[in-house]
Structure 1
Amino acid sequence: MKKVFKSLKIFLLLIFIVISCFAFIYKDKIKLYINIGEKYVNLQKDTSSIPKVNNSRNMKASDFETIVYKNTNNVPLTLDIYKAKKQLSKGSPVILYVHGGSWIYGDKNIPSVLSPPLDSFREEGFTIISVEYRLMKPGVSFDRPTSDVKDAIRWVYKNKDVYNFNSNEIGVLGISSGAHLSLLASYTDDKQFMDDKNLENYPSKVKYLIDFLGPTDLSTLDTSKANWDMNNILKSVPNVKELTSKYSPISYVHNGAPKTLMIYSKNDTLVPYKNGVELYNKCKENNVFAKLIPLENCNHDLSGLSKEDMLTLSKEVLKFILQNSSI
């Protein structure tokens, strides 16, 4: 009997040692899960704290920094860097935000609906970077803004030691046209969409991608609903069919593409829901991890977004980034 108790004690001691080692090795990850989980639970309890969708504001900007990341033909382009609020041993994971605006409008201020989840990650050691890109005009194709987004990723690699970035933990989050540019930049290889000579020798690989209402097949867009500026641009393009094929992200899905979270609204008349469905299916065909999250009622401009859809959006973004972070 004594031998049994002795063996049991040794077994329990070994279990304790294994659990302690596991907790020590993965303490940052465990703490991140707990802290982010608490924030989501609090958000569920108090939906009044969810900001209005049509507001746009910078996140807490006490340590906000704007830098020029490239200067092509005397056109300086900037990044807004929202610094991590604590140091991580392996460096700071990076989330790049790419704004929408039909490729011709918009700025890099982060929408208020995204600020709570992104602020939560800042508190846990992530750096958030918002990207400025050249807006389209007549005679200008998608090459320039796509190259800008891709160069912003290259800039992160170039400056990883300066800013203590973890270049193995880069994610991209784009909305609408910004999601389209994010998909193109993330699905294409390092040598495509090159622009700045100072950045062309750096990689552009990202670990994961969050596609929020992004056009994946440009041929599905209803151009009759395009505004005057966009129609002017389309009229300036000699071969629109060739353009829609070349710049449709669904054409670039391949086996090594980054893991992708897709968020689309069933009520979106500008970017039809099937954009998400078809991209999801193409990812599955190529063995790329993908998840499609439907929003039920909101329009493309997010009007009509319910509190339930807001909670779904926040939860899925938090969960996806957590699942794809190896800190």
Structure 2
Amino acid sequence: MKRFVKILKIILIAVVIFISCFTFIYRNRIKLYINIGKKYVYLQKKLHSDIHIKDINAMNTIYAENIVYKNTNNVPLTLDIYKSKKKLSKGSPVILYVHGGSWVYGDKSIPSALSPLLDVFREEGFTIISVEYQLMKPGVGFDKLVSDIKDAVRWVYKNQYEYNFNTNEIGILGISSGAHLSLLAAYTGDNEFKDDSNLEVYPSKVKYVIDILGPTDLNSLNFSKATWDINNILKSIPNIKYVVSKYSPINYVHENAPKTLMVYSKKDTLVSYKNSTELYNKCVENGVFVKLVTLENSSHDFSNLSKQDILLLSKEVLKFIVQNSPL
């Protein structure tokens, strides 16, 4: 009996030591999970009150605004840096935000629907960078836009020491046409889509991509529902069928593609839900880590985004980034 008690004490001491070591080693990650969980619970309470999506505060406290990251053909393009609120020893992970707008509209201001999510990560040491890209017009096509996003990533690598960026931890989050560009930028290699000679020597690799309502196969889009501007531009492009195929992200999936989170709505009439399932299946076939989140009620412009969809979107984006956190 004494021998049994002695062995049991040894086992208990070993378990305590193991738990203590595990907690110490992963203390930052555990703390991140706890803090993210608290913020999610807070968001739940806010949404279960009478708050509406338009009432959520937008991102503020820009650390550096309108930094020119490239200037080709006398067209300066800028980015905004929302600095992390906590200093990390290995440098700050970076999330690049790419706006939507049918490739012809929009700006780099971060929408209020995403602000609470991104602010959570700033508090945990992440830097948020919102990227401007040249909008489409006759003579400026998809290749230029994708190059702009990849050059923004290259700029992060170039300036990692000045801003204390952790370039092993770069993610891209895009909405609509911005998600389309983000997927193309994430799935293509360092030597593809180069535009600025001052940046071309730097990598463009990212760890993950978050695709919210992005067209993955341009052949599936019903451009009759699109704006006059984009239709007019597309009509001016020779060999449009070749161009549409060339710039469809689904054609660039490969086994080393970054981890991918996709968020799509069954009620989206502009980018059909089929875009999500086909890309999901292509990622699975190639062994790429992928997760598909389905919204039930939201239209493409988020005009009727329900509280349930907001919470689902928030939870899955938070969880995905935390799982890919270096902490």
The bucket for the TM-score relative to the shorter chain is: over 0.9
Give the corresponding residue for 1:40.
Answer: 40
Where does residue 279 of structure 2 map in the other structure?
Answer: 279
Kept after mapping to 2: 8 A contact 1:259/1:290: yes
| Residue 310 of structure 1: aligned partner | 310
Q: What residue in structure 2 maps to residue 210 of structure 1?
A: 210
1:74 alignment counterpart: 74
Q: Secondary structure at the match of 1:15?
A: helix
Aligned-pair CA distance for 1:7:
3.2
2:107 is aligned to 107
- Partner letter of residue 37 of structure 2? G
Q: What is the count of residue pairs matched by the alignment?
A: 327
Q: How far apart, CA to CA, are the structure 2 residues paired with 1:52 and 1:274?
A: 29
Q: CA deviation at 1:12?
A: 2.2
Q: Does residue 6 of structure 2 align to residue 6 of structure 1?
A: yes
CA contact (8 A) 1:95 1:172 kept: yes
CA contact (8 A) 1:56 1:109 kept: no
Counterpart residue number, 2:262? 262
Cα distance in 2 for partners of 1:56, 1:270 equals 26
C-alpha separation between the residues in 2 aligned to 1:46 and 1:62? 24
Classify the secondary structure of the residue corresponding to 1:203.
coil
Per-residue deviation at 1:243? 0.7
Q: Could you tell me which residue of structure 1 aligns to residue 155 of structure 2?
A: 155
Alpha-carbon offset, residue 55 of structure 1: 7.2
Structure 2 spans left out of the alignment, 5+ residues: none
Structure-1 separation of matches of 2:53 and 2:175: 13
1:74 offset after TM fit, Å? 1.7
User: Deviation per CA, 1:241-263, whole angstroms, max 9, x where unpaired?
Assistant: 01101100000000000111111
1:97 is paired with a residue of what secondary structure? strand
Moved over 4 A (4+): 48-58
TM-score scaled by length of structure 2:
0.96
Indicate how the Cα distance of structure 1 residues 50 and 167 shifts in structure 2: closer, same or farther if over 3 A, else same.
farther
User: What is the distance in 2 between the residues matched to 1:283 and 1:55?
Assistant: 37
> Residue deviations 1:219-244, cap 9 Å, x none?
11111112111111011101110110
Task: Evaluate the alpha carbon distance shift between residue 51 and residue 183 of structure 1 in structure 2; reply closer, same or farther with a 3 A threshold.
Answer: farther
Measure, in 2, the Cα distance between the counterparts of 1:36 and 1:55: 21
Q: What is the CA-CA distance between 1:60 and the residue it aligns to?
A: 2.5
Structure 1 residue runs of 5 or longer lacking an equivalent are none
Q: Which amino acid aligns with 1:143?
A: D
Q: Which residue matches 1:120?
A: 120
Relative to the length of structure 1, the TM-score reads: 0.96
1:156 counterpart SS class:
helix
Cα distance in 2, alignment partners of residues 280 and 70 from structure 1: 33
* CA positional deviation for 1:48: 5.2
Q: Secondary structure at the match of 1:326?
A: coil
Shift of 1:56: 9.1
Contact 2:62–2:83 (Cα < 8 Å) also in 1: no
Shift, 1:326, TM fit = 2.6
